[in-house]
Each structure stands twice: as structure tokens, then as C-alpha cells.
Amino acid sequence: MPSAESRVPRGTRAEGRETGAPNSPRTWGLYLVTDRHQTGGRDLIEVVSRALEAGVRAVQLREKGLDAIAVFRLGEQLLALTRRAGAVLLINDRVDVAMALGADGVQLTRKSLPLQEARALLGSDRLIGISCHGLADVREAVAGGADFVVLGPIYATPSKASYGPPLSPELVRQTRAICRLPVLAIGGIRPSLVSEVVGAGADGVAAISAILAVADPGTATKEMLAAVARGKGIE
């Protein structure tokens, strides 16, 4: 079996975290989050591969309600695709699955292992993103040594009713003021809303339905990436 090092593409881990290197969360632009229920009956792997071909550089495997073995099997397939595309794969919540796969990191939520425990298991080379729903979460993520935060839901989203009403782009601004980590805005993000969150200080966006639920995930990916680049004044 190849070593963990040989399975990780160059520039995807610690060295890219804070420097703005190619696979730093600061430069991902779009962080694609999976949800097998939102593909309109299409195969999830197929839809994600369209997005990767269109330029997605970071994918989060977030499949609620699956056993560890099912998440692991999906992760194996996605890891092969992300490696080929030079993208990173993070696993939602399951530190054990991320380690078993040799994935690039985890996305932790309030219900996950505490950040310090996850870091002790994963080491400094793997990315740890924290899902934040307010400034208290952000402060905790910063203090705990997270690599980046995903903040939301910023706008109303059909994908996640459980976190209550949308938070607003103003929270992105407040987060930027207290947090030097890369910040990705999530929740109801569409290309037309990107300039608002990037203008408020987000380094990029995360999305499910805008990519997975549309007829053409490749074109949607390109539009989202272009919107982020425009918002950041890169194009």
C-alpha cells in the first residue's frame, strides 16, 4: 500500500494552508459539498466528476445517514477522482473514515469530535475545516487551531432547514473582522450572490444545490468559479 505521503498530491496540505498556495482553502474559490439526494436521480460520482472536470478543487463528502462502510466506499471512489483532478477531498464529521482513506482532511460540525482531539488524530498535515453558525463558533475555531471556517447558512437554503433562518452577509463581515483564517460562505449561494459575500470578506463559497441539483453541473461550476474570481478582482 502506498504511504499516505505518496497518495497526496503536491500542494494540497499544510504547505498550502495559509500561504495562498494552489490548494489552500483561501484559493479554492468553490468548495463542493455532496448530497446524494440532490442530484435528481443521477449518480453522485458522475455529477461530482463533471464538477471536477470543470475546475472544482475541493470536495467535501457529506452524506448523512450512511454507515461508515458506505461513506468509506463512496470516499474511495471520490478520492480516485479528486486525486486525478488535483483536487482535495475532505470528509464530513468522520475523522476515522478520513484517516482510513488517507483523505486530505475533515469538515467538523458541532456534533463531531472536538477540534483538539481531531487534530491529535489527524496531525498538522491534514486540513480541518469547522462549520460555523455564528461568531462564537468562529472564535472557538480560531482558538482551537482550525485551518478554515465554513460559515452559514448565509442565505435561505432548501438544503438545510435545521440551522434555522439565514444569517446574512453582515455576519461574513463580522467574521472577517475577527478571523484571519480562510472563510467560505455557505447556504443558498448562487453565482448572483457571490459578489455580496466575497465583498463582505469571504475567501470563497461552498455549495450543494447550485452545482449538484442543476442540469449542467460543469457549466454551473464554471459560473460559480468565475463569479468568485470576479468578486476577488482576479478576472
Known catalytic residue at 62:
yes
Known catalytic residue at 160:
yes
Known catalytic residue at 162:
no
Euclidean distance between CA atoms 82 and 63, whole angstroms? 17
Region from 97-105, 116-124, 152-160, 224-232 binding ligand TZP, contact rule CB under 6 A? 152-160
34 sits near ligand TZP (criterion: CB under 6 A) = no
Amino acid residing at 56: V
| Radius of gyration, CA atoms only, the chain | 16
Region from 17-25, 136-144, 155-163, 225-233 binding ligand TZP, contact rule CB under 6 A? 155-163
Euclidean distance between CA atoms 19 and 144, whole angstroms? 19
Helices (H), the chain: 4-7, 14-17, 25-28, 44-53, 68-85, 95-101, 115-122, 135-144, 169-178, 191-199, 209-212, 217-231
Q: How far is the CB of 186 from ligand TZP (least distance, A)?
A: 5
189 sits near ligand TZP (criterion: CB under 6 A) = yes
Asked if 203 contacts 182 with a C-beta cutoff of 8 angstroms, the reply is yes
79 sits near ligand TZP (criterion: CB under 6 A) = no
Q: Which of 26, 50, 62, 232 is catalytic?
A: 62
Q: How far is the CB of 154 from ligand TZP (least distance, A)?
A: 8
Asked if 94 contacts 100 with a C-beta cutoff of 8 angstroms, the reply is no
Q: How far is the CB of 116 from ligand TZP (least distance, A)?
A: 23
Judged by CB under 6 A, which of 102, 105, 188, 204 binds ligand TZP? 188
3-state secondary structure of 219: helix
Binding mask 196-235 for ligand TZP (x = CB under 6 A): -----------xxxx-------------------------
Q: Which residues are catalytic?
A: 62, 131, 160
